[in-house]
Copies of this chain bind each other. A is one copy, B any other.
Amino acid sequence: MLPKSIQNLINHFTKLPSVGPRQAARFVFYLIKQPKKDLEEFAKTLFGITKNLKKCSSCFKAIDVEGLPANPPAGVAGRHGSVSYVCDICKNPKRDKSFICIVEKDTDIESIEKTGRYNGLYHVLGGNEIKDFSEKNLRELHLKELIERIQPPAGHPQGEKKIKEIIIAISATTDGDTLALYISRLLKPLSLPVNKQGIKITRLGRGLSTGSELEYMDEETLSQALLGRK
């Protein structure tokens, strides 16, 4: 039998996505061979994220608050009645605030930023991996807050903001498609004229991805690639 402290640590690693007990054991036996100082550093960093990490009160992107003064924009602080933080993208005056790109998770923002093709704002749905569409799961998706961002109550300072387009940038998987459909239906009433201007609701284009061969493409993707030819 393995020592208890090793077994406990293996159990913690086994909870990580797609890590089995065998790989977790390998992690742990690797770790116990590392210098004591490195391990302490790892543990400290892990502990740190419970304290240092908050979410942007506007787009729900994770932000580091270590040594950061709470800096709520007018009208936001009051809403939740507590100190709130705003991320670098939402604060950046050079970003085009008439575009909101809905993503599932923070890393998707990284991916989109790397393309250099988008200069609007984001909205992170968060929540756990979406596997079922129970009410409980849907409630965790910050959709209520998304609607508030798009259609602020009358008299609200954000009310002036004219959102032109909402891009649903969700994976083209079955679950992703279902979620995207759900969101686009939810937003449909809002796509009616706001301040005399309609909001366009779009999804990422479908077609051949780099490296894909005609021979292995499914019918649906090939249809989309034909329709989207240019």
Contacts and interface: CB of A to CB of B under 8 A. Distances in A.
A169 to B, nearest CB: 7
Contact of A5 (B5, B52, B203): B52
A224 to B, nearest CB: 7
Interface in A52-97: 52-53, 62-64, 66, 88
A207 B41 CA distance: 41
Q: How many copies does the complex hold?
A: 4
Interface in A214-228: 214-215, 217-228
Given A50-B39, A206-B209, A62 B32 contact: yes
A214 B103 contact: yes
A185 interface: no
Contacts of A4: 64, 66
Contacts of A131: none
Contacts of A40: 47, 50
Given A6-B53, A117-B223, A215 B108 contact: yes
Contacts of A48: 5, 8-9
A147 interface: no
Contacts of A218: 209-211
Nearest to A101: B226
Given A31-B49, A111-B215, A173-B211, A205 B222 contact: no
A228 B205 contact: yes
A31 B230 CA distance: 34
Contact of A227 (B6, B41, B205, B229): B205
Interface stretch (A21-29, A153-161, A191-199): A21-29
Given A117-B227, A171-B215, 18 more contacts: A3-B53, A6-B62, A17-B26, A26-B107, A31-B49, A39-B50, A40-B47, A43-B43, A107-B215, A111-B219, A117-B223, A172-B211, A203-B230, A204-B207, A205-B207, A208-B209, A210-B220, A228-B228
